[in-house]
Each structure stands twice: as C-alpha cells, then as structure tokens.
C-alpha cells in the first residue's frame, strides 16, 4: 500500500488565475519534491468525502477553509469533512482533528465547462470554531496587489501529488516575514518534476474581497 504523507514542491513563477485569465510566469515550472516535515504547514487540510481524501484545502480562520470550486461542485456538505493537523493519511495522527462541513459557499460564477475553470474557488464553513494549536493554525490571505512572480519561496503542499488530489490545496508563499496563501490549486500537470508545464492556481488576492464578503 502506498504511503500518503504530506508532500511539498517548490514552485517557481507560478501561473495564477483571476477571472478565468491565466497569467503565465516566465518559465513557469515546479521543481523538486519531498515529504514535508510533519506539521510544518499547519494550515493544510484534507478535504474528505465519506472519510476518503479528495482534495486539499487551506485553513484561513477558525470558521473557514478555502478550496477549489471544482472539488465541491454538486457536493452535499453533509458528506464532507475536513481533517486538520494531519500528516500521514494512512494512519491516525494524535494531532489530527476532523471537522464537519456545515455549508459550501462556491463562487457564483464558477463554470465547470469554462476554459481554464474560471472562478475556481470555494469556502467551507464549519459548524463550530476550530481550536488552534501548534499543529493547526490559519494562514493569512494574499491581499490585492501582491505579486509572486519570481518569488523563490513559494510551495505547493498536498497528499498524493502524482494522483492529482492536491487540487484545492494551498500555494503558500513567504512574503515580508510571514506566510500567505497566494493560490488554491486549480489545474495542471501532476507531480513535482514538471519543468516547462504550467500548473495553475486560483489567485487569492484577486478574490480577496469575495472571500471577505462571504465569510
């Protein structure tokens, strides 16, 4: 049986999607890949359908996770849960917490048939606030005007990167002394060794106002 531990990949000049228009970075590529140090990305969540991992998500405060709309399209929130504080999906970590999903807030203009998955963003609301710990912490949202092209400290994280189930998970960048979520994984070539192929992320800064208005 494959071991599904949290993986991380360095991203250079990521393509970020806003309103359906991909912005291509110069030589957009994903390089390298390794198992993440346990709980080093405490905002990473596992979105699960009936107890099985389907996508990643990002803890942005005590009440909400951010993910991609295509991960929850036509889903019933009663069949979804989010696991936080997780590292290895094959075993139960003592640090992990499973939270039910009370409501799915999908972008009203998401189009699953549109070129490039426009407006591929959604919020997952919890029924009760999550308690933070050293292993479970939110990450700041990228704000309008932030530019990540050329940032050499941007990482995607997720489980089963070669299976594509990192969709919805965070593109995290270190900016001005703190981590921010710059994107939610939308689509692209799976895996970490994909030089020359674009991986595309929904631009969080573009949707910042939408996120704030819907929380």
The set of catalytic residues is 70, 120, 167
CA atoms of 130 and 145, how far apart (whole Å): 30
First to last CA, the chain: 39
Residue pair 88/3 in contact by the 8 Å Cβ criterion: yes
Q: What are phi and psi of 63, to 5 degrees?
A: -115, -10
Cβ count near 86 (within 10 Å):
27
Q: What are phi and psi of 77, to 5 degrees?
A: -60, -25
Q: In what order do the strands lie in the sheet with 80-84?
A: 97-100, 80-84, 44-49, 52-59, 64-67, 122-125, 103-106
- Residue 19, classed as helix, strand or coil, is coil
- Residue 170, classed as helix, strand or coil, is strand
CA atoms of 65 and 45, how far apart (whole Å): 8
- Residue 135, classed as helix, strand or coil, is coil
């Amino acid at each position: 049986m494959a071991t599904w531990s949290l993986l991380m990949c360095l991203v250079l000049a990521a393509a970020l999607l806003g309103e359906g228009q991909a912005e291509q970075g110069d030589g957009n590529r994903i390089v390298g890949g390794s198992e993440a140090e346990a709980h080093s990305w405490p905002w990473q969540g596992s979105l699960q359908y009936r107890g099985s991992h389907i996508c990643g998500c990002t803890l942005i405060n005590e009440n909400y996770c951010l993910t991609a709309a295509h991960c929850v399209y036509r889903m019933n929130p009663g069949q979804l849960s989010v696991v936080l504080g997780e590292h290895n999906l094959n075993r139960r970590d003592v640090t992990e917490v499973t939270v039910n999903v009370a409501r799915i807030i999908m972008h009203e203009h998401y189009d699953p048939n549109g070129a490039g998955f426009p407006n591929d963003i959604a919020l997952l609301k919890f029924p009760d606030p999550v308690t933070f710990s050293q292993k479970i912490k939110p990450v700041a949202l990228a704000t309008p005007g932030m530019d990540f092209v050329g940032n050499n400290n941007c990482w995607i994280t997720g489980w089963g990167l070669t299976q594509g189930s990192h969709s919805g998970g965070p593109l995290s960048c270190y900016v001005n002394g703190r981590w921010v979520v710059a994107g939610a994984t939308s689509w692209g070539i799976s895996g970490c060794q994909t030089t020359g192929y674009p991986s595309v992320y929904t631009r969080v800064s573009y949707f910042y106002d939408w996120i704030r208005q819907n929380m």
